[in-house]
Structures are given as structure tokens and as C-alpha cells.
Amino acid sequence: MGKKKLLFLMLAVVLALSLAACGDGSASTFNSAGTTENLDYTSDDVTGGKALEQINLFDLALSQEGGDAVMKLTFVQGSEVGGVTQSAVDDVPAYTISQMPEPNRLLITMEGISWQDYRIPQNLLDYAPILGMFQRVTNVASEKTTLELYINLANAVEYNVSSEANVLTIRLHEKADAEPSQGYYVTLNAFNEYADGRLGEDLGLTPTLCADLNNVTLVSQKFADEAAANEFLASLTEKLSSILPERTPQLMELEAGVLPTYQDDVDVGGLEQRVVAVKDGKELKFPILAVDGKAIAKVPMENAYLVAKPVISENQTDATEELWLYYGDGKSEKFVEDYEFNKVLEAKFSADGKKLAIVEIVDAMNITYIYDKDTKELINVSEEGFGTNTSGMDWSDEGYTLYAITGDEVQQVMKYSLDGETKEFNAVEEQSAEMGALECVRGTLYFSDMMMEKIYSMDPATGERKDYTTGLEFSVSPTNDYMSILRNVDSDDGKNLVNELVIRPVDSTSKVPETGDHGPADTAAPGDDLPTDSAPPVVSSGDELVISHGDLIMSYVWSEDGTKLYYTVDKGSEEGTGQYYYSLYCYTVGEEAPELVMEVSSFEILSAVEENKLLMVSMYNRGGIYVPVTYILDLAAE
């Protein structure tokens, strides 16, 4: 819940590319006969160009000319792909070209590059001595965005650099006197941490493409003997223990002109040593429920979770997922047999846990399935006419009737019944509905319209719809007593809209809990083991309590006993946040204010079976792809 946001954050994402596309611009090669005689070559740094802004590296073309590999880089201003008017420029941006030590690389640094619409030619390896390319983008928050283009080489080179109008030409010529040899290197799988500035160049590491021509790792200088390399390894390991303990450097021997092998097992091995939260200034590590898996639902009446696992093969991820069960005792098993989903958007169990409704993203459609735990039957109810555009869904309180906001061109509130021997579906009401959340509570349907920012109630027996309240989306507590609602409201100065998180009783027979009143459950244990830092006091507004106003709410979930609402807040550009970008709060029903639990590195949370526990889904780089990992947060950790 809480993932459709009023405010959208743009995160500076570092791009590491090999033979993949950088954008939707053109990729080309050219052939030209000619000679390289009378050209001056150097292996020293070369600088040139002009200080420009809003520049687009539009094209990168390759040719073989007189024994040289020739690169032509074409620049324009603006980007049609990026939605900005594109225009010609009469110069090239400021650049520096330098040669890096073995493993041999050429580094082209360009200033003011706001877009990269070029494509790396797929026949790159036809142009010796080039082995591959990748890039790093820095200073993305400023007008002076820097693009670093790394060219991996089979040998040391000399180069001739020239420019004409908006085209920069670089001719690469293998050095005749180069004597490459094997050597020892130290590698570290931490390119993303290096690219976003968390690791400095003072560690003595620089990036290089790996042998699979896809992944990028960090590499040391070449050491002639193993003893010297081991000495560097020991020193690096000690430095990393305080700044990046979850990463383990490795010693590797390489032949001349050979790229290092990417060791993806190093990524997985460091996950349990990864610091994922901070509480009272203390960094915390937590156990893992599922490596390479995202917990998406709890199994009713069991200490188990449904986990979506991406299908990973040879360091690549197919765009598919499998559904597994992970148990509290550490065991796991595949749940849905013989089927891989493209991307699971949502999954919900029936009240007895015997049926599972699944929404799968396929192209531009949201396809709905029902899986029977006992018979192992998987029914594609969208194929039967239930609708190919499903958003919110929930099961009836009893039996096996699935309600959903679904349809094809037009969405409606629909139901699919599996009670008895019959399987049938029909519309609950005839009028249209829009994308939003839906829950069934004590026989009443509640659903939201995110476009109109309204929440409705409905009797499914009659199809009568009533205005309930306003809101983008909502979540009902497991005890069906309270509803948490995310809204857009005016900011205090009235100049823009901000998030507001409120709770209210689900039906009119209940009252909003006052401070000191812990609601229907006496097990609230308000404030147990929580830090003293707190958010502003809650504000009562009629039958509602405002829990948070003005913060950017990223997600929110109820505890299993329905007495606590946990939510994450984006800390934005707040100074000193480091890698802990989100604050995790807990509001205990009846208390005067939410309490800050801890700072966390990911906002995606799921309630846990055990008391004072939450699940948190994070991402890590495995073999150049981002893969989910689910941690078990102990909220009472000291």
C-alpha cells in the first residue's frame, strides 16, 4: 500500500552499459578508405572542446581505417527522445581523453552531457583493439552533468584526436612497443557504489568491463607478483570494513588482454553483512527471509510468506518470476508449479489460504489468475472474460468469491465465484470504475478511485454504491476495525498538494480512538521498545485522526493485531541521511503521536507474522542486474 504517490522523486541512477542500448538515438558505422600517414599520435592526456550545456551524445560511429579503429562522436543540443527540442551545435563539449593502466582502457570524459541517445554498435568487437564499452554519469543534479565513456582495449594504444563542428574523432592505434604480460589484480563488485560516489578513487580501484561484456567491476593496478597483490588485498579489506563491509574484494590472476570474470557469488555472500538500518545512531544488520526474492503476501494461519523470485540464468534475468513459499523455520518450496509469471503485481490469499488470486503484468495488461493450493490448478480468469486490466482485488470474507476492479477498455467492479461446482463471473454494478484499491470488509466492498480521489462503499448483493470518504488509496486493519487512508491535501501555505495519512473506524458504529484509548484490542503495548524521537502529535478531525501531514508517504502496513500502523517517509534531500533514505514510523492506536522506529534503506515493507517484526524488501546488484532480497526487521533491536 501507499506506492502511488503525489510527489515523484527522481533518483540519480548510474548507468553501466556494455553492448546494450543507451537510448533511442541512432547507432551507425561507416567505412572510409584512407591513410593514417602524417597523423600525430600520443598516449598522453588530450583536452579540448568548449564549455557547453544541455548537450546530447547523439551518435557513436565506428570504422576501421588504415589499421586504426576510428570513433566518431556526434553531439547535438537537446533530445527529442527526452522531450526537449533538438538543435545543432557548432562545437564539441569540453573533453579529456586519457589512457588508463592495465587492464588497458581509454577514458573519454565529457562535460555538460545531459542526454545520451547514442547506441553502442553491436559489432563493436570487429574494431580491434576495442573489447567493449560502458559508461558512468556523474553530477546529474547539476547543469554540468559529466559523462565518462570507458573503452576496454586488448592492448595499450596511441591516439589521434580531432574535431570538426559537432563531431569528435578519435583514432586508436596499437602501440608497436607494447609488451603486455599477465599479472595479479584485486577486484571488487561495487561499481554502483563507486559510480554514485560512495567509494572514492583513493581506494586505488577503477572500473573495468568483465569478460561477459555485460557486468562492470572495480579493479586495482596490475601487480607483478602475488605477494604484492595480497598486501593490497589486506589493506583494501581493512578499509572496506568500515565503509562497505558487505563487499568482499577478490584476488585474480589475468592473462594480458583478457577481461576479468565477474564473480556474482561475492554479491550474495555479503548480503547478511549488509547494514540496512540505523537506530539511535547504531547501524543494524538483520537476517534474511529470502535471497533473490520479494515477499508479497502472508499465508493465512501459517508462519509463511508468498515470495516472487525472479528467474536468473547465467547472470541474466529473464523477465519472469516464480512464486514460492518461505517458512519461518527457514524452509522454502515452489508454490505454483510449472508456471513462470512475467511480473506479479499483486497476490492475495482467500481467508482459509486455499485459493490464491494473482495479477500478472503482461505488456500493457494486468491479467488475473486463480490458483488452487490443493488441486494445483491455475485458472486464467482473464481469458474467460473477467478482464485484462485488473487493479484492486480481494476475496470475500467467507467462501471463494473474488471481487476486483477490472475490465478491458472500461473497468467495473466485478466478481468471480468458485463456490460449489460452478465457476461464474459477472458485474457487481453496471457503472464504470477507475484504477484503485479494493477490500472486502464484513460483507461490504470498499474501493477507491485514484483519479477522482474518492473512496466508495458498496453492498455487493445490490450493487448500490455510496460515497464513503476521500482518498487515493487505503488499507483496512486485519481486525477490520480501522482504515488507513492516503490523501492529497493542501499544504499549510496553500501553494501545493502534500500527502496526508489518516486513520478512521471502518463503520459508523465505531468511534475514532482518542489518545489513551487503545481501541478494541488491549494488547497495544504502546511505545514498547521504541525510540523517544516522535512525529508531531496526531490531530483529530471528526471521526478521523491525522497521523502524518506534509511528509512524502512511501508505504504503510498494519500490524497483525490491528493495533499499530507502520509507515515509511521519504527523507528527501535532508542532510546527513547517507544511504538511509527513509524513516520508519509506528503509530499505536490510542497514542498521542507516532514514534520513529529507525532509519531504513528501503521503503517497501510488509507486515510480519511475529510481533515487533516487519519484512523489508531491498535490491542488490547481482551480476549487473538488480535483484530483490527480503530482510526481517526486528523493531525492538537495540
Residue range 22-31: mean pLDDT, rounded: 38
For 30-45, b/e burial (b = at least 16 CB within 10 A) is: eeeeeeeeeeeeeeee
| CA separation for the pair 631, 293 (Å, rounded) | 10
Termini Cα distance of the chain: 28
Residues 6+ apart with CB under 8 A from 241: none
Angle ∠(611,614,618) on CA atoms, nearest 5:
165
pLDDT at position 7, please? Answer: 32
Within 10 A of 59 (CB to CB), how many other CB atoms are there? 18
Give yes or no for a contact between 291 and 268, defined as CB atoms under 8 angstroms apart: yes
Q: Which residues pair with 84 in a beta bridge?
A: 79
Whether pLDDT at 61 is above 90: yes
pLDDT at position 37, please? Answer: 60
Within 10 A of 104 (CB to CB), how many other CB atoms are there? 23
Quick: pLDDT tens for 391-427: 999 999 999 999 999 999 899 999 999 877 778 889 9
CA distances from 200 to 147, 240, 243, 271, 433 (A): 17, 11, 11, 22, 52
Residue recorded with cell 547504531 = 282
Give yes or no for a contact between 245 and 143, defined as CB atoms under 8 angstroms apart: no
CATH class label, 28-174: mainly beta
- pTM, to two decimals: 0.65
Cell (9 digits) for 564:
499499530
pLDDT at position 540, please? Answer: 62
Look at 17-31, 227-241, 282-296, 427-441 and tell me which has the smallest mean pLDDT: 17-31
Q: In the chain, list all ranges with CATH 3.30.70.
A: 183-263
- pLDDT confidence band for 508 (50 / 70 / 90): low
Residue range 220-225: mean pLDDT, rounded: 94
Quick: pLDDT tens for 541-593: 568 999 999 999 999 999 999 999 999 999 864 544 456 789 999 999 999 89
For 220-233, b/e burial (b = at least 16 CB within 10 A) is: bbbbeeeeebeebb
Give yes or no for a contact between 277 and 619, defined as CB atoms under 8 angstroms apart: no
Nearest Cα to Cα of residue 537 among 593, 586, 596: 593
pLDDT at position 415, please? Answer: 95
Nearest Cα to Cα of residue 595 among 490, 489, 506, 524: 524
Task: Provide φ and ψ at 437, rounded to 5°.
Answer: -90, 160
| CA separation for the pair 341, 360 (Å, rounded) | 6
Residue range 339-347: mean pLDDT, rounded: 94
Quick: pLDDT tens for 82-132: 778 899 999 999 999 999 988 999 999 999 999 999 988 877 778 889 999
Q: In the chain, list all ranges with CATH 2.60.40.
A: 28-174
What is the Cα Rg of the chain in Å?
28
CATH class label, 183-263: alpha beta
- pLDDT confidence band for 528 (50 / 70 / 90): very low
